[in-house]
Amino acid sequence: MPPGALAIDENPLILQLLRWADDALVLGHRLSEWCGRAPTPEEDLALANIALDQIGLARTLYAEAGARSGHTEDQLAYLRTDRQYRNCLLVEQPNGDFAHTIVRQLFYSAFADPFWRAACASSAAEIAAIAAKAEKESAYHLRHAAEWLIRLGDGTDESHRRASVALAALWPFTEELFEADGADAALIADGVIPDPAAIRLPWDSTVGSVLVRATLPRPPAGWMRSGGRRGLHSEQLGLLLAEMQNLQRAYPGANW
C-alpha cells in the first residue's frame, strides 16, 4: 500500500458504494469549481445547487460504506489516494468551457437517472432508500443538461461548434458507465445493485433524442477509455484530490 493510503477492507458491496460515492463527490467538486464563474447568475445557482445535491448524495453513500468498513465519511473522502478512488473517468474530466460541462452533465445524468430509478428496487433496504432520494434529484439534473445542450447545439454557429467539440472530447468516456466486473456479478445476481449494462438502452434513447433536437450528430463509435472503476485515473483526478484533500493531509483531523 502506498504511503498516505487508507487501509480499507474492500468487500464487493463496500467497493460498489465507494464507486457511486466517488462519482458523486468528484462530479460535485468539479461543478463547485463553477461557483462564482458561471455564464449567468441563474446558471451559477443551478450548477452550485447540482453540486450540492451530488455532495449530499456522496455523504450519504460514504456514511453507508463507512458503517461497513469502520471509517467516517471524512476519512473516506479525504484520506484515500487517487488509486483508491473508484469514480468513472467521465466525472473527473475538467470543466473546460461551458459546453464541456453541459455535455459531461448530460452523459452522466442520462446514466444516473435511470440507474438510481432501477436501484430503488434493490433488495438492500439502505440502497433502496438512498436511491429513492437520488432518483428524484437526478431527474432535475438531466432536464437541466438536456435543455442547455439543445440551446447550445441549436444556437449560434459558435455555440454549435463548441458543443460539437465537447461531444467528441467526452464521448470516449461514456462506455465506462455501463461496465461491470467480477466484483459486481454476485451483487447484481442477488438484486442488491442494478446491472449497469441494462442502463445502456435508456441512456442511448435519452442522449439520442437530445442530440437530434440539438442538431448535433452522434459521434462515431471508436476507442473507449476505461479504468476509473479499478482506480486507474487520468492525471486530472490527482490534481483535484490534491486541492480537495490538502487541508486534511496537512492538518490531520482539522475541524470547523
Contacts with other proteins by CB under 8 A lie at 28, 42-43, 45-46, 48-57, 59-60, 125, 128-130, 132-134, 136-137, 139-140, 142-144, 146-147
CB of 113 to other proteins, least distance (A): 10
Q: Which is nearer to other proteins, 142 or 237 (CB)?
A: 142
Q: Which is nearer to other proteins, 83 or 140 (CB)?
A: 140
Q: Which is nearer to other proteins, 34 or 173 (CB)?
A: 34
CB of 147 to other proteins, least distance (A): 7
CA 35 to chain centre: 18
Buried/exposed code over 165-182 (b: 16+ C-beta within 10 A; e: otherwise) = ebbebbbbbbbbbbbbee
**Amino acid in the structure at residue 144:** H
> Could you tell me if 139 and 70 are in contact, meaning their C-beta atoms sit under 8 angstroms apart?
no
Q: Which is nearer to other proteins, 5 or 67 (CB)?
A: 67
CB of 130 to other proteins, least distance (A): 6
> Could you tell me if 92 and 236 are in contact, meaning their C-beta atoms sit under 8 angstroms apart?
yes
Q: Which is nearer to other proteins, 13 or 134 (CB)?
A: 134
CB of 49 to other proteins, least distance (A): 4
Quote the Cα angle for 135-141-143, to 5°.
105
Distance separating alpha carbons of residues 103 and 88, to the nearest angstrom: 15
Q: Which is nearer to other proteins, 148 or 173 (CB)?
A: 148
Cell output for 168: 467528441
CB of 247 to other proteins, least distance (A): 19
> Could you tell me if 17 and 86 are in contact, meaning their C-beta atoms sit under 8 angstroms apart?
no
Question: Which residues fall within 8 angstroms of residue 131, CB to CB, at 6 or more apart?
Answer: 116, 117, 118, 119, 120, 122
CB of 172 to other proteins, least distance (A): 26
